[in-house]
Amino acid sequence: MQPFAAIRAIEFAGEDGLIFYTTGATLAAQNQAVKSLHHAITARRPDWLSELVPAYDSLMLVFDMTQVDYHAVYQFVSHLPTASGTHSAEARLHRLPVWYGAPDANDLALVSEVTGLSHEDIISRHQQTPYNVYAVGFAPGFAYLGELDAELATPRLANPRKAVPKGAVAIADRQTAVYPDVSPGGWHLLGLCPVPLYQPDASEPTLIQAGDKVTFYAINEDEYYALVQQAGASH
Amino acid sequence: MAIRITGIDLAAYPVDGGRKGQLHQGFCQSGPLDPYAFTVANLLCGQRSATAIEFMGGLRVEFTAPAVVSVTGATAEISLDNQHQPCWQTLHVKAGQHLSVTPARPGSKHYLAIQGGFDFPQVINSASLVKREKLGGLHNDGQPLNVHDEVQSLAVTSRFHLPPALPQPLIPDYSSAVRVGLVPGYQHDWLDSLQWQRLFNSEYTVTPQIDRMGCRLSGPAIELPSRALYSEAIALGAMQIPPDGQPIVMMADRQTLGGYPKAGTIARCDLNHFAQGIPGDKITFYQLDADDARAKWLLQLAAIERWLSL
């Protein structure tokens, strides 16, 4: 299939799916093109659309193959007005509090060893940048945020944990994330976030969507427990 | 109306059509491993896509009220109060009767459907159980069914019409030698012609590393260049090639994103045969292009519609 505009390649993801790969000078630019395409398709929401899954530099589209074939889907997408840069709605911004160094989620010493940075420096660098939500996946509500300060880049743990605590704020390579629930994981942990990211019974079960932006700010232990209680009460 | 579970040999849990339109939030698709057997089980009870019970290994239940049910899946012995019954047909059950299903091969997948559908909690628009996500099940905590559990069925309305008996050609032949169509896609161009020959001309064995997330195969290793790849969406049936070259086929409960290169996806028309594989089974793959794969799938659907209109 012939690529077009900001799409560098189109491949099959099954006989009922296509995956569009975007082009751009930086990962942020590639992801911007994913957002534009995602928005353009969502705005039309054709009947045959089953799934639309954005990630870093790709967008998978799954269609109902009783209604259309991939030729029709290709025609539809290639005729969308997706002029690069004209990205739609303002990105939603989430400001997430973090109790850095919380005893249940504290790999600051390990990170310090790898990066040569002091604990204070690690914590302040983690809060410096507003992050793009490049993708949501792995588990419900797990948002991949980037890009992390290059000085903070760490490899994954040699022995992944069997149970990372709910709300753990973690880093790996040039990514950061908050674990929405207890799960196995191999990222280094910096602290705990009291804001629930995943509530299966809520009308919007996941807080963060691909395309949003996230910033972190430091809180202390007392503020953490007050916010945990508040979240519990409102739920 | 209800059933009481009196015996589970391996596992039993609720499935329906799965969580639709939720992949982008990180919820896995879930739903039946063998969508064909699931669909036909429901049609035999006069409905589409109601919640059924997927089970592996033997299952025994007692009915506390009369019911219309069906059992589909790989070959199994079915009896009602020790009277032999056919698989893949509508069964009329009286209160107090005991149904017993004994699969011919342990690990194959089977479906028990009931008219009205089983009543399980719905979460994110689906009753499908996902252990990893702690979703679904009688207590909505991702725990499968246990012996002594009672499961209610939903009320039967007058719009249920039972179909005629299922014609023999619509019952799949789940023989242990399986040829499965593969639609090349994703990083297909990372495989050179030698690797494609290897994939299509070799036999792969289903390993014991098999669950609702995926199925690991063993056979001649597929060698890929080492290139960076950002995590991306994983389609149903996608064949991942990890660094050791042994393919992993991603099934209903697969994680939504992953960073392993993928050669393509199993064609939907053959997915049920693949899903019925158990450790030790031999699989061979043949190339199918997207148009042919879709055509074969539509023919399967048309055959079902012809049966329903008989």
What would the pLDDT profile of B255-274 be if each residue is shown by its tens digit? 999 889 999 999 999 999 99
Ranges of each domain in chain B: 2-170, 177-308
pLDDT at A117 over 90: yes
Q: Which residues of B touch A201 (CB under 8 A)?
A: 123
Record: contact B24-A51, CB cut-off 8 A = yes
Record: contact B132-A50, CB cut-off 8 A = no
Q: CATH says A7-78 is which class?
A: alpha beta
Sequential DSSP letters for B64-130: SS-EEEEEEESSEEEEETTEEE-SSSEEEE-TT-EEEEEESSTT-EEEEEETT-B----BTTB---B
Question: Best mutation site among B232, B239, B299 for testing chain A: the one with the most A CBs within 10 Å?
Answer: B232
Tokens for A114, please give them.
């790898």
Least confident among A87-101, A156-170, B289-303:
A87-101
Record: contact B230-A69, CB cut-off 8 A = no
Question: Looking at CA atoms only, how far is residue A58 from chain B in angstroms?
Answer: 6
CA atoms within 13 A on the CB side of B174: 25
Superfamily for the B177-308 domain: Cyclophilin-like (2.40.100.10)
Question: Looking at CA atoms only, how far is residue B222 from chain A in angstroms?
Answer: 19
Among the partner-chain residues A58, A60, A139, the one whose CB lies closest to the CB of B26 is A139
Record: contact A13-B185, CB cut-off 8 A = yes
pLDDT at A85 over 60: no
Backbone torsions φ then ψ of B308, nearest 5 degrees: -65, -25
The helix (H) or strand (E) run that includes residue A190 is strand A188-192
CB distance A54 to A35 below 8 Å: yes
Ranges of each domain in chain A: 7-78, 93-233
Q: How many residues does chain B have?
A: 310
B238 touches chain A (CB under 8 A): yes
Residues in chain A whose Cβ is within 8 Å of chain B: 11-17, 19, 27, 50-60, 62, 65-66, 69-70, 135-142, 144, 181, 200-201, 205-206, 209-210
Question: Looking at CA atoms only, how far is residue B72 from chain A in angstroms?
Answer: 24
Record: contact A206-B291, CB cut-off 8 A = no
Indicate the pLDDT class of residue B156, thresholds 50, 70 and 90: confident
* pLDDT value, residue B221: 97
Record: contact B265-A12, CB cut-off 8 A = yes
The helix (H) or strand (E) run that includes residue A32 is helix A27-44
pLDDT at B307 over 60: yes
Record: contact B236-A14, CB cut-off 8 A = yes
Q: Which residues of A touch B238 (CB under 8 A)?
A: 13-14
Q: Which residues of B touch A208 (CB under 8 A)?
A: none
Say if A7-78 and A93-233 have the same CATH topology: no
Sequential DSSP letters for B269-289: HHHHHHHT--TT-EEEEEE--
Distance between CA atoms of residues B277 and B105, nearest Å: 10
B135 touches chain A (CB under 8 A): yes
Q: Which residues of B touch A181 (CB under 8 A)?
A: 134
* pLDDT value, residue B158: 66
Residue-wise pLDDT tens digits, B206-228: 999 999 999 999 999 999 998 88
Q: Residue written as tokens 């660094």?
A: B243
Record: contact B233-A53, CB cut-off 8 A = yes
Among the partner-chain residues B27, B231, B298, the one whose CB lies closest to the CB of A66 is B298
Question: Looking at CA atoms only, how far is residue B44 from chain A in angstroms?
Answer: 22
Question: Looking at CA atoms only, how far is residue A14 from chain B in angstroms?
Answer: 5
A-facing residues of B in 82-121 (CB < 8 A) are none
Percent of chain B clearing pLDDT 70 (strictly above) = 99
* pLDDT value, residue B259: 86
Q: Which residues of A touch B188 (CB under 8 A)?
A: 11-12
Helices of type H across chain B? 35-43, 193-201, 268-275, 290-308
> Could you tell me the fold of the domain covering A93-233?
Cyclophilin (2.40.100)
pTM, to two decimals: 0.92
Record: contact A139-B184, CB cut-off 8 A = no
CB distance B230 to A55 below 8 Å: yes
pLDDT at A37 over 70: yes
* pLDDT value, residue A91: 82
* pLDDT value, residue A90: 72
Q: Which residues of B touch A58 (CB under 8 A)?
A: 230, 232-233
B197 touches chain A (CB under 8 A): no
Residue-wise pLDDT tens digits, B94-118: 999 999 999 999 899 999 999 999 9
Residue-wise pLDDT tens digits, A51-67: 999 999 999 999 999 99
Distance between CA atoms of residues B50 and B16, nearest Å: 6
Indicate the pLDDT class of residue A151, thresholds 50, 70 and 90: very high
Q: Which residues of A touch B257 (CB under 8 A)?
A: 53, 55, 135, 137-138
CB distance A33 to A25 below 8 Å: no
Task: Compute the count of residue pairs across chains A and B with CB atoms less than 8 Å apart.
Answer: 134
Among the partner-chain residues B21, B255, B257, the one whose CB lies closest to the CB of A51 is B21
* pLDDT value, residue A200: 82
The shares of helix, strand and coil residues in chain B, as percent rounded to the nearest 5, are 15, 35, 50
* pLDDT value, residue A82: 65
* pLDDT value, residue B53: 98
| Nearest residue on chain A to B266, alpha-carbon basis | A14
Average pLDDT, chain B: 95
Question: Looking at CA atoms only, how far is residue A140 from chain B in angstroms?
Answer: 4
* pLDDT value, residue A150: 93
Record: contact B231-A137, CB cut-off 8 A = yes
